[in-house]
Amino acid sequence: MVKSLLTRRSFVKLAAVVGAAAGLAATPHQALAETGGGGAAAGVKVVRTCCRACGKNECGVLVTVQNGRAVKVEGDAETAFHSMGNCCTKSQSSIQAAYHPDRLYHPMKRTNPKTETDPGWVRISWDEAYATIAEKFQELKDKYGGESMFFMGGTSRIWTQHAYAGWLQLVESPNAVTAWQICKGPRHMATQMQSEFAYSWMATSDRPRVFVQWGTATEISNYDESCRTTVDLANTADEYFSIDPRRTGLNHEADTWVHLRPGTDGALALSWANVIIENNLFKDLFVKRWTDAPFLVVDGMEPSGGALVNMIAWSELKPMRTRLLKEGDVKEGGSMARYLVWDELAGTDGDHPLHDNDPTGHLTYFDAETGLWEGEPDEVWSEFYDNPQPNLPKGTVPGRIAKESPFNPEIDPALRGTFDVVLADGATYKARPVWDHFAEYAQNFTPEKAAEITGVAAEVIERMAKTWATPLDPATGYGNGGLQYGLAPEHACNAIQNNRIFDTLVGMTGNWDTPAGNRGPTCGMFSGAEDAQPTIVTGHFEGIDWSIFHDKILGHDKIPTLSWWQQWADANAVQDAILTGDPYPVRGGLCEASGFMNQGNSTKYWEALNALDFFVVQDLWKTPAAGAADILLPVYHWLEVDCPRISQGSTGAQGANCRAIEPPADCRFDVDIVTDVYKAMGVPYADDPVSFGLPACTPRASSCSTSAWRRWA
């Protein structure tokens, strides 16, 4: 046996040469896609579109159609830079789904009791289906209230998003049971708490210098950019770390693979934080100026609804309690939006209400309403670093980052220490910066302690943390890249905390909203009733006070953050309410592209669905959930739809789903179904969505739409 002398990276270089040579071959589908069939066989065309088989990527694909029938799906390597010509097996098997013999073609209704094995399905018209749904929904709303209905939704097809809000608005229900609860939702809740909604996707196509793949296998599937993009990144990064209990298809290529004990991700991440803090690898100015790290926590005082209630959350969310010190806590009439810090610079003004001529420093504030520090001018910072990010693929526009703006006027917020503060009532308390508490907690997770918990050697933990957090090129002004973390850490019981520490690590090292960092999701230039995710577009409910639903969300008694988050009900609590009527009866529901086998106890869930007075399922087939339905509605397959889509991830891709084949028989577009039911119930649906002032962003996956999303939901 001859031992190969090729390293992984030299092999990639060789493969690139071979690939370039192969690229000289003819590409007949390219011309066909652009010309619409010139030189092709009669009755054959190739449609350039975006795949929606997994509901994640917007991978560019070419669909070959012969005599009106799709016969082939393949990757579009020329125009889809984010998927780089990738076309996975799920995409290719879409043809099987579109032409499956069990596909639904007509609306159906049950004629036999649910106690019988045979539902006795009979075909009905769409008019009868709509009239029945409208009648039953109104009946349940009038008898029990809108909260007596719940709506199930998946994430597979782009247009099955109405269970996230559209159906809820129709009947005024707070109860959604969506895949969001177990798919990306925990990270969204976590980042909404502490940074910005959905700052959880790493900009993979920017090619981070140190590639950290944590609890995910994006070489198979992910958001916006994955598959071939991930494989390319794994082979071009200076360092590739894989943190995963499993051996995956790609992590055998990692420079370091740590197979930690399942469920110990949080301990490992906290140990990274400990290493970064102890070695001063965090971005000092960023941490002080743009995080709550210097905000003062009042020790020894319970936030029992008195002076230390957080007023910021009142405008859109349920009020939250806090021990963070605010101007209004220390002086009468002070703002509850001004968060206090201890400025360690001398030179105080004795006449200032927060300054006391203490030579060791004084109190100053950050104003959460204006986004400015005390005395800071409201001006646009316009100094930027260039982006020398290496290995950028063709078609990627180089990003850039603003240079860190200094404090103006100059201050130096304390990150450590204990300070005496006098509240407005005259009582004196001890206060410490948030960072001091965080650093103290992280000391419980030294590499040695984390090794005991995770099974990963202490020296490996320390080396990985230092390698990732130490910029390879400090001149860029940003770090080596973000963290590419998947769903596995948020399927653990401590999901929210896992995602919070990931978010914290990214921020403290200067990898938020940077090239190759964790950035907010794509925002688009279109939004309306015909959008791919028309969930929050109606103006009919503008006058409704949705705050009354805070404590009606099922499950909030056991999971208090649900009534703050306001995005879904706990699946288990919904099942209990159906079966017991506690805390109130739930008697009806609708399911869009979802099921009962992925959340909670499936046997109990099945029992609950069959106990409903009325249940509707809209899907491609008679799914297991359809067995409990009273009405079945047939829908379009992604190959049959013209529909825009704003991608979920950080790449900036926007998909154009172009119809490749005609929809069969009586099938209808999900968007038309929900709008038609609105009409049947006499409720207007987005007559003029533009006039409602909604942002041009996907509501459930966009940082810039969060506030409007709250107002309308």
Residues recognised as catalytic: 90
Rg of the chain (C-alpha set): 27
Token reading at 275: 């290493």
Q: Residue 201 to residues 95, 107, 481: CA-CA distances in angstroms?
A: 30, 39, 11
**Which of 330, 362, 367, 366 lies closest to 343, judged by CA?**
362
Total residue count of the chain as it appears in this document:
713
Instruction: Provide φ and ψ at 656, rounded to 5°.
Output: -120, 95
Among candidate residues 337, 296, 291, the one with its CA nearest the CA of residue 315: 337
On whether the CB atoms of residues 377 and 368 are closer than 8 A, the answer is no
Please name the amino acid found at residue 402.
Answer: A
CA 518, CA 482: separation in Å to the nearest integer? 5
- Residue 694 in tokens: 């909604």
Look at residues 343, 30, 424, 59 and name the one whose alpha carbon lies nearest to residue 227.
Answer: 59
Neighbours of 565 (CB within 10 A): 19
CA pseudo-torsion sign 117, 110, 672, 166: negative
- Residue whose token pair is 């180089």: 398
Q: Could you give the CA distance from residue 668 to residue 658 in angstroms, rounded to a whole number?
A: 16
Q: Which two tokens stand for residue 381?
A: 């910072």
DSSP for residue 492: S
Measured between alpha carbons, how far is 158 from 58 in angstroms, rounded to an integer? 10
Is 140:134 a contact under the CB 8 Å cutoff? no
Please state the separation of Cα 208 from the chain's center in Å: 20
Q: Report how far residue 12's alpha carbon sits from residue 625's, in angstroms, rounded to the nearest whole number.
A: 47
The answer to whether 432 and 417 are in contact (CB under 8 A) is yes
Q: How far is CA 233 from CA 203, 390, 451, 487, in A?
A: 11, 11, 28, 20
C-alpha to C-alpha distance for 69 and 64, rounded to whole angstroms: 8
Q: Are 132 and 506 in contact (CB under 8 A)?
A: no
- Which of 179, 176, 160, 190 is closest to 568 using CA atoms? 176
* Residues 97 and 640 sit within 8 Å (Cβ to Cβ): no
